[in-house]
Amino acid sequence: MPPFYPEVGKAARGATIPPVAYLKWYIECLDEQRPHNLSFSGLQFEWDLSDVEEAWLDHRRFGGDERDVVAQQFGVSVENVHLCLGATQGISLALLAVCDRRRIAVEMPSYGPVSQSARLLGMETVAVHRRPADTHWLIDRDEWSKQLTDVDAVVVTPQLNPTGWDYTDDDREWLVNTCREKGVHIISDEVYAAADSKWKGMYLEGEHCITVSSLTKVHGLGAIRYGWVIAAPHLIERIGDAFHNLAGQMSSSSIQFAEAVFPRLHEAEDKIREYREINLPLLIAALERLGIDWAPPPNGVFGAFRIPGVDTKALIDGPGKDNGLLAVPGCMFDEGLDEWLRVAWSIDPQSFAAAVEVLERIIGNAMSEP
């Protein structure tokens, strides 16, 4: 049986295109509409966008630049910004802009489309790992030093999926400096970064650093398919050429919705803080009663913990399904995470409390089995 976690290797075409096993599994689970859903990787938030009139019409205006809203949000020039149809496309565009040797390092654990996209673009990938520790998952510096010697870029997700933990200050500094010395670009998937009010975008670390993000995860606006890349102007020019070849122009309705919502992004960010304050203590208490030692990440909407001796995919496919519970097994993100489970607290408190009660019961039953 093939693994569920993302695959590294040579460029992929035709029959060798790697599946995103996580999505094949997850979409079927979502279709079951299990009532206790702790699987979301983004905020569940009801936006009212009824005041955005004529969003489906071509709004483009002479003398304006549709990148202004992102540039102003992050304090950069429009020459440092390109819009795209979400973060996954942004990663592909960034890869195309920096790929010369056709060899890319990809951080593990990871969400499949983040780490496998390069292979579909004709590049070979090699894995670099962050390893479990008491809190932050730490860069394996020996492995990274070796693998970063002959690659064009490394693709990372600082707020690591599935754990939610960011880099330590030391690891971030080491990564930035090592990549600068080796002539390696950092492509940083920062779709969860807005949940951290103190976060500093990787693009601030130098011209070898590229930030990719979108309104999908933290702000719950995946439906409008709006993302961006922030990078040095010469890279943005290449990214623009790639985007025009692949997608033409941004949807005018997506741009209009985004421009209307940017002044209101704090509403979603406030909701994340509210959900953390109310929901997270319930999960911590449940795990303590089960004897599971876990330190939650300081920001974000999800975290992952190890359930010793329990195959979490079997847990979710069996007792989880029987009891209407959905969470994400760690095997979807990397090898060796079969006993890890990702749980999100990004739903309303009443639903979360009911789901955690079910979660505690099925984990307790699984841990008590011989």
The strand order across the sheet containing 153-156 reads: 81-84, 227-230, 209-214, 185-189, 153-156, 103-108, 124-131, 138-139
What's the confidence (pLDDT) of residue 370? 73
| C-alpha span between 157 and 45 (Å, rounded) | 23
Asked whether the beta carbons of 87 and 107 are under 8 A apart, the reply is: no
What's the confidence (pLDDT) of residue 311? 98
Q: Where are the domains of the chain?
A: 14-45+266-368, 68-264
| C-alpha span between 284 and 296 (Å, rounded) | 8
| C-alpha span between 17 and 58 (Å, rounded) | 37
Per residue in 267-326, pLDDT (tens digit) is: 999 999 999 999 999 999 999 999 999 999 999 999 999 999 999 999 999 999 999 999
Tokens of residue 31, six digits = 């279709």
- 14-45+266-368 in CATH: which number? 3.90.1150.10
* Closest-CA residue to 229 (of 251, 202, 253): 202
Query: SS3 sequence, 318-339?
Result: HHHHHCCEECEEHHHCCCCCCC
Q: How many CB atoms lie within 10 A of CB 60?
A: 12
CA 243 from centroid of its chain's CA atoms? 21
What's the confidence (pLDDT) of residue 198? 95
Tokens of residue 135, six digits = 């809190």
Tokens of residue 288, six digits = 């303590």
| C-alpha span between 352 and 122 (Å, rounded) | 42
- What residues have CB less than 8 Å from 175, skipping those under 6 apart? 139, 144, 154, 156, 167, 186
Fold match between domain 14-45+266-368 and domain 68-264: no
Tokens of residue 352, six digits = 């979360």
* Closest-CA residue to 292 (of 230, 341, 344, 224): 341
Residue pointed to by tokens 């941004």: 250
Burial class (CB in 10 A: 0-12, 13-18, 19+), 174: middle
What's the confidence (pLDDT) of residue 61? 59
Query: Would you list the DSSP string of 108-166?
Result: ES--HHHHHHHHHTT-EEEEEEEE--SSS-EE-HHHHHHHGGG-SEEEE-SS-TTT-PP
What's the confidence (pLDDT) of residue 329? 98
| C-alpha span between 229 and 16 (Å, rounded) | 29
* Closest-CA residue to 326 (of 362, 278, 281): 362
* Closest-CA residue to 47 (of 273, 258, 351): 258
Instruction: Catalogue the long-range contacts made by 130-138 (C-beta closer than 8 Å, 24 or more residues apart).
Output: 130/160, 132/306, 134/295, 135/165, 135/295, 136/165, 136/166, 136/167, 136/168, 136/171, 137/163, 137/165, 138/168, 138/171
Per residue in 157-179, pLDDT (tens digit) is: 999 999 999 999 999 999 999 99
What's the confidence (pLDDT) of residue 53? 67
Per residue in 335-347, pLDDT (tens digit) is: 999 999 999 999 9
What's the confidence (pLDDT) of residue 339? 98
Domain 68-264 has CATH 3.40.718.10: no
Low-confidence stretches of the chain (pLDDT < 50) are none
**Model's pTM, two decimal places?**
0.96
